[in-house]
Amino acid sequence: MSDKKNNKPANSSKSPKARVTKPLRRPSSKATSDGKHDKAGNKTRSGKLGRLGKNKAASDGAYTSVKNRKKVAFNKASGASSRGGVETDKNRFRTIWGLAIFVLVLLLGRAYYLQVANAQFYQAKGDELITSVRTQKSYRGMITDRNQQPLAVSAPLATVSFSPHDYAREYYELKRIIAANPDSPKTQARMQKRLDEMDLNRLAAAANVPVAELQKAVALKDNIDYTDEDAVKAALPSGAGSHYFPLLTKVTPEIAQSVSSLDFVGVYEKNFFQRYYPQPQPNAQLLGFMGQNSSDPEGGYEGRAGIERQYESTLSGEDGQVLVLKDAKQNSLKEIKQIKPEVAGQDLALTIDSRLQYILYKELEEAGRLHEARWATGMVVDVQTGEVLALSTWPSFNSNNLNEMTGENQRNRAVLDVFEPGSVMKPFTVAAALDSGLYSPNSLIDTNPGYIRVKGYTIRDHDNYGVINFSTLLQKSSNVASTKIALSLPPDGISKMQKEFGFGKKTALKFPGEGVGIVATPKEKETSRRATISYGYGLQVTLAQIAQAYSTLAAGGVEHPLTLVKDDDKSSQSRRIMAHDKAMSLVNMLETVTEPGGTATAAAIDGYRVAGKTGTARRINPEGGYYTDQYRNTFAGMVPASNPRLVGVVLVEDPRGLHYAGLTAAPVFHNVMKEALRLYNVPLDKPLKTKE
């Protein structure tokens, strides 16, 4: 279209639809007619700019119509646009998606760590918030005597307590809910019903506790703002007794049920087993006692002495574990499952006869009180089996009340204490003489003039017995004759025989803390020691070792290891120590001790032949030497002597007044063994005395 057709000015008053096609300025004269080359023949940019060239011209001041301006407004942006080009958008796109993928990978990694790699740990953490593991105490095995009479039993007991703190916390919480819901009558009615169920009069009546004490313990305050958390916290009970108010202590589960069945807020019940001893004093040192286990978080108990400790693993069993669901206040709601079943402890049957045990203890107590002794102890053994039928010590304590226990009365002295035995060792001196081949049962020993000098020491008899045989040696308890035998044998002749009979080592009882004793082997030049050990000085033994040795003699020279547990697998088997004929000849010699003229006529039992030996030894003075007015009395014997069935040993420590064993320990043997023969229906082996 020609530029000459319309040459009117742009500010004409005509309609805006009028088209202006002629620019105000002419194009540059440098431009060529085709817009492609200049005068020098160089190619211009006009051919490539196209619309861009036109738009640029317009922006440089060329007048353009409204129509043309609209076309410019809707033209596509190019790389020169201020909003960016394709490359910039592509980089932004990649960055955003890269960040998104990175975050996604982090989330997936975290999810894998929580739900797969470490799932068990976090699952356990979650379970801790809503569950807990409760220990189920196993039933401790019962200890019985040989006749299945209970000596130690576990009685189920319960303790019911009340937590004023938990009660008050629940009370204030219900009050808060009521105050916070004035527009909800149903909620208020429901909370008020729960408050009514928390009436302390109900709890006081069931537990037989004054309601005033409960009200004082909870100390409820009705003048506080229940919606103020700090005010409620300050009002809660604190200090001693705020979490534990005993209602019922160590009662039977049936009695505890009367309170726990109320399902009262803040009431808790703890069940446990209490050890009970039906025959406490006679068996206290033998059975031992229970003590708290410091390593048990549940505060469990374990055997701390005696049989309870020795057979702890057998009696205790294994505790079980139960998974319990808890509420937000850590109260147990219900048992979910049993994690580990409880294993009840095994019952333990002892060889002890509770009837004979009681008789022994009462006789020891009577003798101890009568003679004002420090203590007294004794044992009764079955010769044929080595089973201990009775083992007791006076003074004792009530094992159901450990407040009576002291360091002295809890010792099982027959097994734990070692001492110089005195003349009860003379039968083993005679045994060594017979075993040496240098002597026979009819050999004679000259004890004139009633004493003997050894290394500057004078060893005396009570009288000058002259020339005596072995029976008289034992009957009169001759120290001089025992010394002459010892000096005629090799240096280890006596001590070797003593060790053969079990002295100087623990018995098969394996009792906790059992004494070992000392039996030294004298050297050739130690003539004084060789002499003293022949009559029971210069060595240390336990009463259990004496019982074992005399049982071996009574069994014809065969040692049956002592045992306290019925049908127990013995680690050591029976063995022969001495020839049968020599052992029985020695038993016959010991029979003269209880006959007229012997040192223990008080031990004789009508209708039975009794063999035994007394031992009266001076007590050692800690400051050196021996006391001149303190003695230890021992008697060991067997019945019936014709075919020994029972052995009894008795020790009375430091009796006042009478200090000979034949007057203090022998009567105890008589009284105990007389009842034992009756209980076991042992036939008579001697005519009964006729009454004059």
Residues 390-430: tens digit of each pLDDT: 999 999 999 999 899 998 999 999 999 999 999 999 999 99
**For the chain, which residues score pLDDT lower than 50?**
1-22, 24, 27-80
Take residue 529 and report the two structure tokens written for it: 């020691």
Q: How far apart are CA 477 and CA 472, in angstroms?
A: 8
Residue 173, pLDDT score: 92
pTM of the model: 0.76
Q: How far apart are CA 138 and CA 560, in angstroms?
A: 36
Question: Of all residues in the chain, what percent carry a pLDDT higher than 90?
Answer: 62
Fill in the DSSP letter of residue 549. Answer: H
* SS3 label, residue 311: coil
Q: How far apart are CA 358 and CA 277, in angstroms?
A: 13
**Distances in whole angstroms, Cα of residue 457 to Cα of each of 451, 452, 460, 527, 528:** 10, 8, 10, 10, 8
Q: Which residues make Cβ contacts (< 8 Å) with residue 668, sequence separation at least 6?
A: 363, 364, 367, 376, 378, 635, 650, 652
- Which residues of 196-266 form beta strands (DSSP E)? 245-251
Q: How far apart are CA 634 and CA 650, in angstroms?
A: 6
Residue 354, H or E segment? helix 354-370
Q: Residue 684: what residue type?
A: L
Residue 296, pLDDT score: 64
- Omega before residue 210 within 30° of 0, cis: no
* SS3 label, residue 366: helix
Q: What are phi and psi of 258, to 5 degrees?
A: -65, -25
Q: Residue 185: what residue type?
A: P
Q: Which residue has the tokens 């004890």?
A: 447
Fill in the DSSP letter of residue 466. Answer: -
Q: Nearest CA to 291 among 279, 305, 280?
A: 305
One of 423, 471, 478, 534 is an active-site residue; which one?
Answer: 423
Residue 356 contacts residue 380 (beta carbons within 8 Å): yes
Fill in the DSSP letter of residue 345. Answer: P
Residue 363, pLDDT score: 98
Q: What is the dihedral of CA 284, 285, 288, 291, to 10 degrees?
A: 90
Q: Which residues make Cβ contacts (< 8 Å) with residue 253, sequence separation at least 6?
A: 156, 157, 158, 271
Number of Cβ within 10 Å of residue 688's Cβ equals 9
Mean pLDDT, the chain, as a whole number?
85
Q: In this structure, are strands 626-639 and 467-469 parallel, antiparallel, or unpaired?
A: unpaired
Residue 514 contacts residue 562 (beta carbons within 8 Å): no
For the chain, how far is it from start to end, CA to CA, in angstroms?
A: 179
Q: How far apart are CA 668 and CA 478, in angstroms?
A: 24
Q: How far apart are CA 138 and CA 212, in angstroms?
A: 38
Residue 95, pLDDT score: 87
Q: How far apart are CA 577 and CA 573, in angstroms?
A: 12
Residue 603 contacts residue 667 (beta carbons within 8 Å): yes
Residue 162 contacts residue 259 (beta carbons within 8 Å): no
Residue 109, pLDDT score: 85
Residue ranges in 74-226 assigned as alpha helix (H) = 86-112, 119-130, 164-180, 185-197, 200-207, 211-218
Q: In this structure, are strands 388-394 and 444-446 parallel, antiparallel, or unpaired?
A: unpaired
Residue 320, pLDDT score: 81
Residue 630, H or E segment? strand 626-639
Q: Which residues make Cβ contacts (< 8 Å) with residue 226, sequence separation at least 6?
A: 172, 175, 176, 178, 179, 232
Q: Which residues make Cβ contacts (< 8 Å) with residue 644, sequence separation at least 6?
A: 383, 554, 555, 587, 611, 638
**Distances in whole angstroms, Cα of residue 323 to Cα of each of 133, 244, 341:** 5, 24, 11
**Distances in whole angstroms, Cα of residue 164 to Cα of each of 159, 174, 204, 217:** 16, 15, 13, 6
Q: In degrees, to the nearest 5, what angle opens at C-alpha 299 toward C-alphas 294 and 301?
A: 80
Number of Cβ within 10 Å of residue 526's Cβ equals 16
To the query of whether residue 423 is one of the catalytic residues in this protein, the response is: yes
